[in-house]
Amino acid sequence: MTVAPPEQAARTYDLGFARWVRDNVQGGNKMSLCMQCGMCSGSCPIGTEMDHGPRKLFMMIRAGMKDDVFKPMAVLMPTAVSVYETSGGEVYVSRMNLGRMSTMFGGTVRAALKGGGANLEKALERVIEN
């Protein structure tokens, strides 16, 4: 007796998604430098808590798996703000443009990202000014 494999939902891939990330996400232009070595996943302090680690996330972005990348919203929250200090003492603060990112979604997610982005900018103004 032969059993047919279960039907799978059709997947859609946005092959321009990596380009969108490169052009619209701060630091996205550096994604092309990724060699998939795994250093980011191995050194990420919250990598084990994420739905997709950094290495898998980059692979999904390159593959155009936009719907799968944004399903786990937890992946966005730790990366909304990043602070980096150089050996020379210079401090850099980078952040995602949550307002722009909200345009990719609808409904509650759009409202949450848009409102969260505005609140984040207000909170950072006080920190960055000092």
pLDDT digits (tens, 9 = 90+) for 33-92: 888 888 877 776 556 656 677 788 888 888 998 877 766 554 455 456 777 788 888 888
**Domain boundary at 60, 77, 94, which?**
77
- pLDDT at residue 93, as a whole number: 77
Q: Which amino acid is at 81?
A: V
pTM over 0.75: no
Same domain membership, residue 98 and residue 129? yes
Same domain membership, residue 73 and residue 17? yes
Same domain membership, residue 16 and residue 67? yes
Long-range contacts of 28-34 (CB under 8 A, 24+ apart): 31/58, 31/61, 31/62, 34/58
Domain containing 123 equals 80-130
Residue 1 inside a domain? The answer is no
